[in-house]
Amino acid sequence: VKSIEILCILGVVAVIVNYLVSISFVPAALSLYAELSHVDGSTREGQNLEEDINETGHVSNPVVQQVKMIMSLGLAMVHVHLYMSCLKQKTSLILGNFSSDNFFGLPNMSTEQVVTVTLALIFAAKYIFDNDYVRTRTRTMNGTIPNGTLINGDLKNATVANGHAQNGSVGNGHLQNGAVSNGGYGKMNGEVSAASEVDGITIARKALFHIGEGLQEKVTALVNSATMAAKSATNDNSNLDDDTDEEILKKIESRVVAVHQLEKKLTDLTRAVKIRRMVVEKKLKNGGELNNLPYDSYDYSKVIGSCCENVIGYMPLPVGVAGPLLLDGQIYHVPMATVEGCLVASTNRGCRALASSDGVRSRVLADGMTRGPAVRFPSALQASDLKEWLSDEDNFEGVKKTFDSTSRFARLKKIQCAIAGRLMFLRFQATTGDAMGMNMISKGTERALAYLQDHFPEMEIISISGNYCTDKKAAAINWIEGRGKSVVCEAIIPANVVTKVLKTTVSALVDVNTNKNLVGSAIAGSLGGFNAHAANIVTAVFLATGQDAAQNIGSSQCMTLMEKCGPTQEDLYMSCTMPSVEVGTVGGGTVLPPQAACLEVR
């Protein structure tokens, strides 16, 4: 294991050093060599310039070989020093303090180390003495230099691309006293005549030609390869935009791209849904076409990361409207998304009967979303200590302050405790503004539990939800204590409206409500099911307005009461009490445009 660790350290350090040298020392050395070695053209004759430029074979590159040797020696010193540092447990050898019989730890080298060093030396020798050759890219037409100027790589007339070579100046710099300014190469002479302009241009061109084109191409290829690898390894939203659908499908089949990450890989979310549909269709046994499931012309940016995953389309539901409903002196129309025939029609008839009377009066009795975590103590007595501790007003205020700090809207109202042996269930109840608030209150509860653990370190958190909330399950605690919005509404319907609109009598309605909705539900052991069909209407409204449809379980808990009223006991008094309506007008599915539109229906 120790040997593997040493080899890993050597490898990491080698990569880092090689990288630093390649990005700093090599370019600097090449630039210095080019400036010092290739600018001096005083010994070159004009007749040699054309011969040098017209070379089409391979030319040796001595500067690359020299730089290689310097790099190799430097890297060898680093590697040897690191290797020697790792041998401190066997020898006290350090640079400047070693004996000849223990030189570099060679007597202690194992067989694999000897093989490794030998291979390293062989590769180093090949690396140093294997000359790079570069192919010249400078060609002239018919072996001549027409008129002596450089435009896009050809010598022609009197100007240089992006600059003039007149009166001793090239482009943005002057050819003067051997100086190089703004990328121009100069002659040793103070003035540059028309003939020497060609000489200066040629020298500059040959300098660029001689400085390690092969090395530059290798570095460029390496950088491009690393860039592509990094791009494919990240979740860049646009890294699959240039691929065809077929190419993306092949990547999914080869598990290069996960089908659930298509929205992260493509900026066009509709295209991501389309490709996922193609993947799913291939797996369906019926050969399965999803043509009847629409997916186009939909704003998936509102869905991804909020409402649904692995999206393959959207489900169009028929949306009807019931009303007008006269509620608290205002007129409302009720949107209902359902596939149950007659539901909207029967609801609409009830709205008409209520609107023909004095309408409906309502009141919110309580407001508080709940979350009930489960915790465990070493003993039941310690669990009871926490319950007693929370009953102190100052202690509760500390928990409340911690809870409220997690949100601008969540405000803790009370904590209800229940103990079962050494288990304890805490029902946090808080207002959550206009949101239904499950995520909001869960975040606050988590922070409050951490605060309680600071005071009771022995407390173990089992679950952030211990089913003591209770969420999406029929439960007596919701029916008794309430959850979300607790509401009650009432109305008085004249006898003539009952007869004319509802096609029945007040006595018949009172009788059927008592025997069916009250007695029948009690015989069945119903929890909050003392009504005719509240769940139908609640679910349809929830689907239309972007609520959590699963919460119709608690929200549909309703007790419907009917009795005769009026001076002659001929009219109908009725009321509905719903203690746990879990709704919100922000967050969740309310962000979707169709559901948001239904929320605005009045």
How far is residue 82's CA from residue 67's CA, in Å, rounded to a whole number? Answer: 23
Q: Do 428 and 567 belong to one domain? A: no
What pLDDT is stored for residue 118 in this prediction? 73
CATH number, domain containing residue 452: 3.30.70.420
Helix (H), strand (E) at residue 133 = strand 133-135
The pLDDT assigned to 44 comes to: 44
Q: Confirm whether 84 is domain-assigned.
A: no
Give the start-end residues of each E strand in 347-405: 361-371, 374-376
Same domain as 299, residue 396:
no
Low-confidence ranges of the chain (pLDDT < 50): 38-60, 89-105, 131-213, 215, 235-238
Q: Please tell me the predicted confidence (pLDDT) of residue 235.
A: 44
- Bridge partners (DSSP) of residue 581 are 485
Q: Environment class of residue 380 by beta-carbon count within 10 Å: exposed (0-12), middle (13-18) or buried (19+)?
A: middle
Residues 453 and 534 in one domain: no
Classify residue 68: in a domain, yes or no: no
Among 538, 521, 548, CA closest to 578: 538
- Please count the structural domains in the chain: 3
> Tokens 């808080």 — which residue?
430
Same domain as 488, residue 580: yes
Q: What tokens were used for 587? A: 């967050």
Could you tell me if 262 and 303 lie in one domain? yes
Q: Indicate the residue type of 357.
A: S
Closest CA to 31 of 148, 228, 180: 180
Q: pLDDT tens-digit profile of 91-136? A: 444 444 444 444 444 555 566 566 667 766 776 666 555 544 444 3
pTM over 0.85: no
Whether residue 361 sits in one domain with residue 505:
yes
The pLDDT of residue 348:
97
Q: Provide the H-helix boundaries in 532-592.
A: 534-545, 552-555
**Euclidean distance between CA atoms 194 and 167, whole angstroms:** 8
* Domain carrying residue 305: 236-316
Q: Residues 270, 400: one domain?
A: no
Residue 175 to residues 130, 167, 196, 203, Cα–Cα distance (Å): 36, 9, 10, 12
Same domain flag for 306 and 328:
no
Query: Residues 596, 492: one domain?
Result: yes
Per-residue confidence (pLDDT) for residue 7, from 0 to 100:
79
CB burial readout 148-170, b (16+ within 10 A) else e? bbbeeeebbeeebeebebeebbb
**Which residue in 366, 435, 359 sits closest to 599, CA to CA?**
435
Domain with residue 287: its CATH number is 1.10.3270.10
Is there a single domain that holds both residue 392 and residue 535? no
Q: Is residue 343 part of a domain?
A: yes
